[in-house]
Amino acid sequence: MKFKEPYVSAVIREMQLRQEYIGGEPLDTIYFGGGTPSQLQQADFERIFKTIDCLFNISSCKEITLEANPDDMTPEYVASLRNLPFNRVSMGVQSFKEKDLPFPESAP
């Protein structure tokens, strides 16, 4: 992914900018969703979680979710998630029937 590193850096910068807005309030949910966050690798999430730990109070965080594309959930990828603080994975399945799925080239 050509833009992965700039994207992760932008997410980190956005958190730094939002720190004052949150004002020390404890976070109870962290949700990585929209698009394809499961394209990020363990090292990318480690950078993000290191920033979260430094900037925010997550001591009472009840849910840390990764929204994932089912195709990304290889055994190796799932194993890498065990090293991260996720406690929930959400996979939106459009269809379990291959014939019902759109071809990538037909996507808008």
pLDDT at residue 105, as a whole number: 47
Q: For the chain, first and last CA: distance in Å? A: 20
Of 105, 6, 104, 84, nearest to 38 (Cα)? 84
pTM for the whole thing? 0.83
Tell me what pLDDT residue 104 has: 55
Domain residues of the chain, as ranges?
A: 4-91
Q: Which segment of 28-42, 43-57, 89-103 scores lowest on mean pLDDT?
A: 89-103
Give the whole-angstrom CA distance, residue 86 versus residue 80: 11
36-86 pLDDT tens trace: 899 999 999 999 999 999 999 998 999 999 999 888 999 999 999 999 999
Q: Name residues whose C-beta falls within 8 Å of residue 24's C-beta, 6 or more positions apart in sequence.
A: 57
pLDDT higher than threshold 50 for residue 90: yes
Q: Is the pLDDT of residue 15 over 90?
A: yes
Q: How far apart are CA 21 and CA 79, in angstroms?
A: 35
- Contact of 37 with 66, CB cutoff 8 Å: yes
With a cut of 90, say whether residue 108 has pLDDT above it: no
pLDDT value, residue 103 = 59
